[in-house]
Amino acid sequence: MNILQALRGRFDAVLSTMVDETAPLLEMIRPASDTKFGDYQANCAMPLKKKLGRESREIAAEIVEKIDLSDMCEPLEIAGPGFINIKLKDAWIEAQLAAAVTDERIGVPLVAEPKKYILDFSSPNVAKPMHVGHIRSTVIGDSLANTLRFLGHEVITDNHLGDWGTQFGMIIYGFKHFRDNDAYAESPVAELSRLYREVRKIIDFVDGQKALPARKAKLSEMSAELEERKAAPSTGDKGADKKAAKELQKLERQANEASKELTKDQAKLAELAADPEFAKLAAEHADISSAVLNETAKLHAGDEENLALWHEFLPKCREDIQRIYERLNVKFDHELGESFYHDQLAPVVDSFIEQGFAKESEGALCVFLEGFKAPMIIRKKDGAFLYATTDLATIQYRMNEWRPDAILYVVDFRQGDHFEKLFAAAKKWGYTDVELKHVSFGTVMGEDGKPYKTRSGDTVGLEGLLDEAVSRAEKIVRSNDKDGLLSDEQYKDVAQDVGIGGLKYGDLSQNRETDYVFSYDTMLALRGNTATYMQYAYARSQSIFRNGEIDIAALRSSGAKICITSPAERALATKVLRLPEALQEMVADYRPNQLTIYLFEELAKAYSTFFEQCPVLKAETAEQKQSRLLLCDLTARVIQQGLALLGISTVDKM
RNA sequence: GCGGAUGUAGCUCAAUUGGAUAGAGCAUCGGUCUUCGAAACCGAGGGUUGGGGGUUCGAAUCCCUCCAUCCGCACCA
């Protein structure tokens, strides 16, 4: 049972006799901010003061007078300006616990009105190796899918793979010019990946060199302006002078930075140029950028050779990505990539033209949207389509095929503008009765506060990240096992769960909207809000059952009851029963960290206290022992279920 | 320049979306192992929630204004 929902229902019955709109007031019933106020609190009397023109304490008294909660709660108390404090009856809590013990869903009800969700997440480019930037989308999307499903919604997950873009033009170009046949036969994906990097390297070099003169000119322009400003006489106005000085400082900083960047890039280019082999290669492929675009265009136009290569490469690339998903234990219902929508793009554009939503501007076909300065371009002047076009086609397909109530896009916050336009365009196009939501997230930063990169400045590969997390986890697990609990092989398995779990939890416990600093040490820490800590709490419970030789499944069905005999037990019991609320909170704004907050801050903390204060196997009576065993079991099950929804496994020993 | 975000303890982050005394972890200091896993627990110090003004019973949260940082801004995704 969702206790908060139940309480709100009772309050609704009373409040609806006093005001018309009760929903916002019911929102103000929540878990108590401090246990000394009870278990829950209702803050709805204060805002009614103006509306009803009476003192808020008096209003609170009226609510308390009229409400019927005698079965669930102790008599309500009014505090301060009109807070209504709610304390559950121990007997009622015990009845809820008894129900949860024998319930597979540990008391989490299914939603009354299931909705159909499409979840669009992960969406890597299949032609390049997955990198650190894909963690968040993948992990957040997966946890939301799990949770929505568990609550009873219908969820369709769709990995919108980038399998049709310029990256394939690059691979095709590389394959045609630089391939090593033996290496390709040996390990095709590794060779394709090498080709991608090789082409990328040449493009960066060629483009970088081309851009140098302009950058130098810009820099000297900046220096000139700097000199000019420095020489500028005082205006006599103190405020204006101060402002000028500040602008000068800013300009100076910018110039310094630009100069530093330029020197750095120049050094890099010089280093490459110094390699005679590479220099020769670069000279031979001086027009590589346009050549790559040309290969891409040919692919899109149905060129036989390129299409054949694409068909050859694609399954191999997908297999490679699949390996990572297997390690992460993430599955998709569909993986309809960009290529899937290829032949739907022209009709989409035609539809926009026909309905008068799109018009040409500077050669490009644009959708002008109210409230946006720049239009959304759906066809380039060279006739090619863009990702905006694909995204529109995707919405159309999903609506026709699945008729969802909502489509969630778990994508980087930097694409916020794009999605706002996309959603506005979709609405204009007629898709008004679907919730389109950009579930955005911040950047993964390095310890230097800049986007996470390797020392040499490359993006960090996801696979290496997983390896590192697992190997560190193994070290930690080994060094902490003084009693030799585990065999060598078991260490390896546990390290997988702890390492991958730590990585996922580290991400999910962060508020998704802000950037966060990536640190192995923090996410694999034994203390604090980490997967390791939660997994440990679970393992500890299993250890008790082992030591006491308890058949916990039998005990669950034996009819034994949980009895509250101490404050620590009561505190833990009320937290255990809050799982449905925590899931509700998580899903309300698609924030997995709401669940981690509950698991750690509330449940695990209460469990620790209980563990310290209440002997289980050495309890005073047989009844108490059974009761506490069941409470441990219930807590462990909530932890296990909560972690499972986050995509994290538990282990019996660690 | 325009638009969007962010700014909370020394550090990394929370804060149930306007609620009671702003919380955790790390770090620092002090206490707890012959007793179910000390990988743990208990306690202490540490804050003008970037500055200033406003809205109200009540503000980290909403409004205004400065300051700082980050991101996006017409044919990449």
Q: What is the pLDDT of residue A151?
A: 97
* pLDDT over 90 (residue A370): no
Instruction: Using pLDDT thresholds of 50, 70 and 90, give the confidence band for residue A131.
Output: confident
Residues A562, A627 contacting (CB under 8 angstroms) = yes
pLDDT tens track for A38-63: 999 999 999 898 888 888 899 999 99
Instruction: Indicate whether A76 belongs to any domain.
Output: yes
Instruction: Using pLDDT thresholds of 50, 70 and 90, give the confidence band for residue A482.
Output: low
Residue A81: which nucleotide is closest by CA–C1'? B57
- Strand B contact with A22 (CB < 7 A): no
C1’ B76 / CA A166, Å: 9
pLDDT tens track for A539-578: 999 999 999 999 999 999 999 999 999 889 999 999 999 9
Q: What is the pLDDT of residue A222?
A: 79
Amino acid found at A591: R
Residues A174, A199 contacting (CB under 8 angstroms) = yes
Task: Tell me which H or E stretch contains A326.
Answer: helix A304-328
Tokens standing for A421? 């336009």
Which residue would you say has higher pLDDT here, A438 or A484?
A: A438
**What percentage of chain A has pLDDT greater than the value 70?**
98
- Does A172 share its domain with A57? no
Q: Which of A132-146, A252-266, A457-471, A486-500 has the highest mean pLDDT?
A: A132-146
Nearest Cα neighbor of A653 from A540, A499, A531 is A540
Q: What is the pLDDT of residue A7?
A: 95
A580-639 residues near strand B (Cβ < 7 Å): 585, 588-589, 591, 593-594, 597, 600-601, 604-605, 608-609, 611-612, 614-618
- Does A176 share its domain with A302? yes
C1’ B30 / CA A608, Å: 21
A166-225 residues near strand B (Cβ < 7 Å): 166
Instruction: Indicate whether A111 belongs to any domain.
Output: no
Instruction: Indicate whether A32 belongs to any domain.
Output: yes
Helices (H) and strands (E) in chain A, counts: 26, 13
- Does A68 share its domain with A177? no
**What percentage of chain A has pLDDT greater than the value 90?**
67
* pLDDT over 70 (residue A483): no
Mean pLDDT value across chain A: 91
Final residue in a domain of this structure, among A310, A343, A363: A310
Give the ipTM: 0.93
Residue A539: which nucleotide is closest by CA–C1'? B37
- Strand B contact with A254 (CB < 7 A): no
Residues A418, A134 contacting (CB under 8 angstroms) = no
Residue A476: which nucleotide is closest by CA–C1'? B39
Residues A363, A188 contacting (CB under 8 angstroms) = no
C1’ B6 / CA A417, Å: 17
Task: Tell me which H or E stretch contains A377.
Answer: strand A376-379
What would you measure as the largest C-alpha separation in chain A, in angstroms? 91
C1’ B21 / CA A342, Å: 60
Using CA atoms, how far apart are residues A365 and A358, in angstroms rounded to an integer? Answer: 6
- State if pTM tops 0.90: yes
| R_g (Cα) of chain A, nearest Å | 30
pLDDT tens track for A623-650: 999 999 999 999 999 999 999 999 999 9
Residue A165: which nucleotide is closest by CA–C1'? B77
Q: Domain tally for chain A?
A: 2
C1’ B64 / CA A421, Å: 29
Q: What is the pLDDT of residue A458?
A: 77
Residue A613: which nucleotide is closest by CA–C1'? B41
C1’ B34 / CA A500, Å: 38
Q: What is the pLDDT of residue A564?
A: 93
Instruction: Indicate whether A457 belongs to any domain.
Output: no
pLDDT tens track for A302-359: 999 999 999 999 999 999 899 999 999 999 999 999 999 999 999 999 999 999 999 9
φ, ψ (nearest 5 deg) of residue A551: -90, 95
CATH number at residue A37: 3.30.1360.70
Using CA atoms, how far apart are residues A88 and A81, in angstroms rounded to an integer? Answer: 22
Using CA atoms, how far apart are residues A169 and A160, in angstroms rounded to an integer? Answer: 19
pLDDT tens track for A436-477: 999 999 988 887 778 888 777 778 889 989 999 999 888 888
Alpha carbon A413 to its chain centroid, in Å, reads 11
* pLDDT over 90 (residue A405): yes
- Does A175 share its domain with A302? yes
Instruction: Indicate whether A257 belongs to any domain.
Output: yes
Instruction: Indicate whether A244 belongs to any domain.
Output: yes
Query: DSSP 3-state assignment of A380?
Result: coil
- Does A181 share its domain with A83? no
Amino acid found at A53: G
C1’ B20 / CA A603, Å: 23
Using CA atoms, how far apart are residues A140 and A411, in angstroms rounded to an integer? Answer: 10
Residues A71, A92 contacting (CB under 8 angstroms) = yes
Instruction: Indicate whether A411 belongs to any domain.
Output: no
C1’ B20 / CA A35, Å: 12
pLDDT tens track for A243-270: 777 777 777 777 877 788 788 888 888 9
C1’ B55 / CA A47, Å: 15
Instruction: Indicate whether A201 belongs to any domain.
Output: yes
The residues, ordered by sequence, that sit 6+ positions from A214 with a Cβ below 8 Å of its Cβ are none
- Mean pLDDT along residues A190-207: 90
Residue A390: which nucleotide is closest by CA–C1'? B77
Q: What is the pLDDT of residue A415?
A: 93
Q: What is the pLDDT of residue A177?
A: 94
Query: DSSP 3-state assignment of A572?
Result: helix
Domain range for A83 is: 3-88
- Strand B contact with A404 (CB < 7 A): no
Final residue in a domain of this structure, among A259, A293, A310: A310
**Protein-contacted bases of chain B (C-beta within 7 A):** 2, 4-7, 12-17, 19-21, 23-26, 35-37, 39-42, 57-58, 68-77
- Name beta bridge partners: A41: A30, A85
**Sign of the alpha-carbon torsion through A388, A393, A395, A398:** negative
C1’ B6 / CA A450, Å: 15
DSSP character string of A482-501: SS--S-HHHHHHHHHHHHHH
Final residue in a domain of this structure, among A310, A329, A352: A310
Tokens standing for A399? 């609506």
